[in-house]
Amino acid sequence: MATTDTPILSGVKKSSAWSIFMGVLISALGILLIAYPFATGAITTVFLGWALIFAGVAEFAHAFGSQTAGNFFVRILLAALYGVAGIMLVAFPLRGLEGLTLLLGALFVVRGVGALVEALRLRPIDGWGWLLADAVFSAAVGVLILAKWPSSGVWAVGTLVGASILVTGIAKIALATTVHTGAARVAQKVG
């Protein structure tokens, strides 16, 4: 039996192929982050510091466009907080890495809960178990980071973030492959 692709099936197969490709890239990034955990953490901290410094400069410039004195002083205060936090992260990346690690642990717990809700919402769809695995893994990573904090700062950002990103990439590949295969089966039945 010949396969016939409708425009919808072609679109689904093209989108799922793109998702598979992106899953492979995400997985490769995860492996790279795992390989260099301390460097990843230090670079991330310094990068975040510079981003906060630039945000502080922008907020300071924006303060002069304020319509009221109260708004002006709030923006100046925000600019100072951004700037000081950024300078501290750039000047003391190891201390900043500890704070970033604490924030990261909380982020992964929240991400795990959100992914769990999404997985349960998609439960009847084939491949939903991959999203559930991603949710459980993300939440477990967050709990592990928080349980070992502050010493987890040396390895957590690179190793655990890399592992989580790797699992996310694998989940994307698995789910997109299921969708792609399903679209091919529908095309066969239509044709």
Tens-place pLDDT, residues 77-123: 989 999 999 999 899 988 888 888 888 889 889 989 988 998 898 88
- Cα-Cα-Cα-Cα torsion 142, 146, 149, 152, nearest 10 degrees, comes to -20
Any domain includes 80: no
Res. 136 pLDDT band, cuts 50 70 90? very high
52 has a pLDDT exceeding 70 = yes
Any domain includes 27: yes
Neighbours of 187 (CB within 10 A): 18
**What is the residue type of 30?**
G
Contact yes or no for 156/38 (Cβ under 8 A)? no
pTM for this entry: 0.54
Specify the number of domains making up the chain: 1
Q: In whole angstroms, what is the distance from residue 144 CA to residue 110 CA?
A: 13
Domain interval for residue 120: 7-36+94-190
